Structure 1
Amino acid sequence: MKKSYRGFLLYAVIILAIIIVSQMFGAMGQTRSVKIDYNTLLQYVEEDRVAAVAILDETLVGLLRETSIAQVDFPARAYDFETTIDKDNFFATVRQIYARKLGKPVDEISEVDFAFDVTYLPQPQTPWFLEFVPFLLMMGLVFVFWILIMRQQSGGGNKVMSFGRSRARVFDPDKNKITFADVAGADEEKEELAEIVDFLRSPKRFTDLGARIPKGVLLV
């Protein structure tokens, strides 16, 4: 398998993992529900379709009698509908509905007479920092993804990051021990090169004798 193909496959797997994790966190915060208006809620009450409601401040969520949602899942994980209410107005209207249904005075109607259960939800006590956990995990995945890309590119599989880098190397005389004496044969060529080296070391000595700077060497 070529390095470029392996690199592409790695990126694809990481991106897919990020998408899956983000979908999982998104699904954790979702519930199966439909937002309805206040009049629709009252219609549900009139038709005795409401099995239970849960109220937190001005938000009401409810469970319908025909639902397939288990009662134990309501309202923590699932509910059928959601709406915004004014609690005083809502319960005043519901008492009027059941006073008419039961043939009793309004002031004698209480929540016990309702055909649905009412639950008052407490304010959530979830520590504030837990809300940032999904975000931090996503940022961690992005950081890991970025590190892997940098390693892949600097490892030679991709030359993008090496563009423009200098190929110069520092000369270390202790690591370069090869001399003309180590080369067998080619005595004439070595002599020519030795003269050029001498010229580069002491150019004034040669220029005083009328020599010119050589433009190159033709080795045959």
Structure 2
Amino acid sequence: MKPFYKNLALWLVIGLVIFLVFDLFQVRQPGYKNLIFSDFISKLQSDQISEVTIKNNYISGVMKDGSHFNTYAANDPNLVSELQKKNVRIVAVPPEENPWYLNLLISWGPIVVLVLLWIFFMRQMQTGGNKAMSFGKSRAKLISEDKKKITFADVAGVEEAKEELVEIVDFLKDPSKFQRLGGRIPKGVLVVGPP
């Protein structure tokens, strides 16, 4: 695997772990029943509600039997006065601001994505002339059997270098012969001279 993909995979795993840790520590509200607003009003009229918490247009509360509920309230200017008439305890919570990391992601996220795309395309363009947009094109070549094969006898040059290349080709064809004598797979070949 290429180092870029290893780093990308590492950062994805780290991001997933951070997300799971944040999700693990989120405050859950177990046992809350969702009410439609008209049911909430009817329960308020029948004096079944003991406490409500109002946050923006969301209302959560406790019935007199101890059960919890959630509802979404329309903009009703008389709601607070109705709650006060029924002696319901009212808790008003200020609206939550977005967490700092969400604000940071929203403001800097698109810029980071554009910079990463730019770096990706610059690397693609440096590897070759028209390769920047050739994502799915194969570089494979069709080899026909009619085509003449080039052998070491056809190559002119330093005889010692040709002999070393012949040994490397022999090793690649049958490595067991060399491994019995302690030979290892070469990690690279240094070829000197003009092509």
Q: TM-score range by the shorter chain?
A: 0.3 to 0.5
The one of the two structures with greater contact order (alpha-carbon pairs below 8 A, sep at least 6) is: 1
- State TM-score, norm by structure 1: 0.35
Larger radius of gyration: 1
- State TM-score, norm by structure 2: 0.38
Higher percent of residues as helix: 1
